[in-house]
Amino acid sequence: MASFRKEPRPGDLIEISRIRSSHWALYVGDGYVIHLAPPGEKSEAGAPTGLGVVKRELLKEVVENSSYAVNNHLDHLYKPRPIKEMLRSGKEMVGKEMEYSDLSRNCEHLVTDLKYGKAHNRQFREEPRPGDLIEISRIGYSHWALYVGDGYAIHLAPPDEYPGAGSSNTSSVLSPRGMVKRELLNDVVGGCRYGVNNHLDLKYAPLPVNKIVSSAEEMVGKEMAYGILSRNCEHFVTDLRYGKDSSRQFREEPKPGDLIEIPRIGYSHWALYVGDGYVIHLAPPDEYPGAGSASILSVVSPSGMVKRELLSDVVGICGYQVNNHLDCEYAPLPVNKIIRSAEEKVGKELAYSILTGNCEHFVTDLRYGKARSQQVETFMTSPQMYLGNAALTAITCSVRKNPSLHQ
């Protein structure tokens, strides 16, 4: 994962999170970046093939409402060119128009070429080969398919998923039964980003391609039980490729006392698992019922409510994972004490401060007796990089209106 830095240095690559993809720029100093802007970039509807233009703009204007991070992701593979050469090459490119293609010449190709002299792109791989696993980025999770050739993929799709698999709603993956479909890869991908990802090749030897494809073809049209934890789309395709069903997206069933991290847009919400499918968490009172909110504005409320709810209701449309991230620093309290302390707080209204008393502080205090928030520690080092301009402005305004947030 990309790290967040206090201030980028000239020559750094900047990864900017867009809807469905990442946009890339080269930082050149004094707050400016050089980047290849695709046709229709401002629409956030993706970058169609066409002419793009190389621009020199203020980083904050390129980022707009998105978050960003310094991500020199190829430093371990290639030696960066001298800074002066990078900047000179970048300056010479400004104002030029060039063909823009997702696969062969996009914004990441430009900046990696400037930095390393190697045009590289992690977002899109070469044309997949039969038997390859395809990872498709949805909002909050990944959907997986098996490429079988001639532009087609076979995948396990929940029956309530939007026709054409263009849905990015994770509520669809909660369906109890799924349908194996053979569809054009482009239709399965919809408007999302995807890549070839045979991520278990180092662990298991793939089965012969003809066996993988024939086994997949035999499954087409069949209905089967669909379980997020036990039999999801990733389990389906890894079983076909390796004869081993595996899924990295979802951890084993959480145990009482475990901390649950739920990614929202711009931050993480945290809860404590207490058993039987339930969690206890500190939810801001203006958060959407069922904790399904993905708005950063919900985390700046001056008070919150401790709730006991089903984990599936708290997760809403997001993914989640068990993340006892401070076990390496502190010994967890006895589980019965953790649960008892949490149950005693249910229904109570507590002061909610994004900096000193948020949902993560709440659960770490229960598990370890230490109120800690790693996302706040990151936020304090570089709030604009962590949240983006719009969210930072919202928090600043909220702090001004609510003096309790300073406490």
Give catalytic residue positions.
Answer: 269, 281, 359
Do the Cβ atoms of 107 and 122 come closer than 8 Å?
Answer: no
Residue 306, token pair as written in the block: 């401790």
Quote the CA–CA distance of 323 and 145 in Å, as a whole number.
27
Quote the CA–CA distance of 79 and 73 in Å, as a whole number.
11
Q: Which residues make beta-bridge pairs with 224?
A: 178
* First and final C-alpha spacing in the chain: 32
CA angle 50, 54, 59 (to 5 degrees): 120
Residue 121 DSSP symbol? -
Do the Cβ atoms of 27 and 72 come closer than 8 Å?
Answer: no
Quote the CA–CA distance of 344 and 53 in Å, as a whole number.
59
Count CA within 13 A, CB hemisphere, residue 207.
Answer: 18
Sheet of 68-70: strands edge to edge? 68-70, 13-18, 21-29, 32-37, 50-58, 97-100
